[in-house]
Structure 1
Amino acid sequence: MRLARHGTTGSEAPLVSGPDGAWRDLRPVCDDLNPDTLPSLLDGLELDALPVVERPGRFGPPLSGIGKIVCVGLNYRQHATETGAAVPDEPIIFLKSPDTVVGPDDRVLIPRGSVKTDYEVELAVVIGREARYLPDEAAAAACVAAYAISNDVSEREFQLERGGQWDKGKNCETFNPLGPWLLTADEVPDPQALSLRLSVNGDVRQNGSTSDMIFGVFELVRYLSQFMVLYPGDVINTGTPAGVALGLAGTPYLRAGDVVDVEIDGLGRQHQTFEQA
């Protein structure tokens, strides 16, 4: 099952799509897709009773009211290698503000003064039930509601060269395109067998697989639950494969007018134009 939201910014309406591929209006069931409604939707829907939406409008973020976005750094072996970093013994964790989230095809703003705005295709994990001190990966898997595409846009100079923590290079406005939809966990038999791709102006920069993750999806959920409570609607950005501008000498960072396309198997496609803030 795919879950999405469409319409103008701030006025999106919820959608659902089942085996027939048709998008259907979810408003007879719920007003919006958010942390309160997501768990009940996962219990099952009578899709045939919902009206078909022939031509959905702009796809917005597939979930509203996100509580927190937990990000994992250096979680792909080849990405760690390309940046000259050691493979971490434990996950590297930082937080991204939910107000960075925009739709999958919305414009992305390059911050004022930026010279190193970078891209990162990532598998996003959406939590569907409370995760607190989980004992093992099986318990963690039961807490995963869905998956989506995330572009963890980063400003590397702000992140790495200006002192302090990574947060100021990760939380600029529009720095987390999400969607176009949530694919429910039952539709993803193995989250460690997904291909991820990203291109800039048609030039493929990232072409990797979640099989290269250092810490797998369920281990990340288990691990994070030892340090914080994960609630329905929380999102985990699970790291990026090799190919970011930071790791490729001579590769230009993003500039106004650049077009970025992002894709993960089964999770759709994003298409963003970058503009100067």
Structure 2
Amino acid sequence: MKIIQTIEELQEIRKSISSSVGFVPTMGALHDGHISLIKQARSENDIVIVSIFVNPTQFLKGEDLDKYPKKIEADSKICELCKVNYLFLPQISTMYGEDEVLVKAPNIKSYTLEGERRPGHFDGVLQVVLKLFGLTKPNRAYFGKKDAQQLALIKQMVENLFLGIDIIECEIKRESDGLALSSRNVYLTAEQRSDALAISKSLHAAAAIIGKKEFDCHVIKEHMQTIMSQLDVEYIAFVNRQFEEIQTIELKNSIILVAVKVGNTRLIDNIWI
């Protein structure tokens, strides 16, 4: 595995590659969820590029940019063990200049749910992902379904800008007790982590209710709220794959999304129906 830190080196290497490229963009602190993305990219491409970059433009004032987990040595070892070909580790000054051409997320999709609570967040996400796509020029790029709204916006960007990249949707990875894997889970105390299990329990309960032919989103939401009654729930949302709000579950076209604060840690999770 080769570690790359400059744009010039990455561009030269990319010019020399004629076979298929799979790309996995990350912010580091790699866990089994990231590893599953990398392994899928490894199985489907000749060359795998992983980037680690904690992108400042997607963090709002007061969020955890400065304390976001950084484990470069451990992350590098994980990438090496997963047989990554190239690991891109840029600095902020490498990725951003003083006079930026800005990317704006579409108003409707990016200012609901996560975007409503984190205004401008998705502008920063799309900005950095577009830059990374331009540098790595992948055939396929891999993203987890846990960040469902982000995934939908990236797919729309690729389509709208005619980028010709296959966006591969990868399943959510969970701990054995059901907690969705997240780099922010390290912030949880043992008690908070136990409390957070109500999130996945509520989603599994929703799936069970739907399996019994209850498709009314209001009824499903009430069940979920009961399960998460001890948590600080920011939202429980029901949308179709286009992120339009729905009142009735549409099988094979619905997503139930949850955002919760556990202590000072904000967690998101979802289930695709």
| TM-score tier (shorter) | under 0.3
Q: Answer with 1 or 2: which has the greater Rg.
A: 2
Using structure 1 for the length normalisation, give the TM-score. 0.24
Q: Choose between structure 1 and 2 for higher RCO, CA contacts under 8 A separated by at least 6 residues.
A: 1
More strand by share: 1
More helix by share: 2
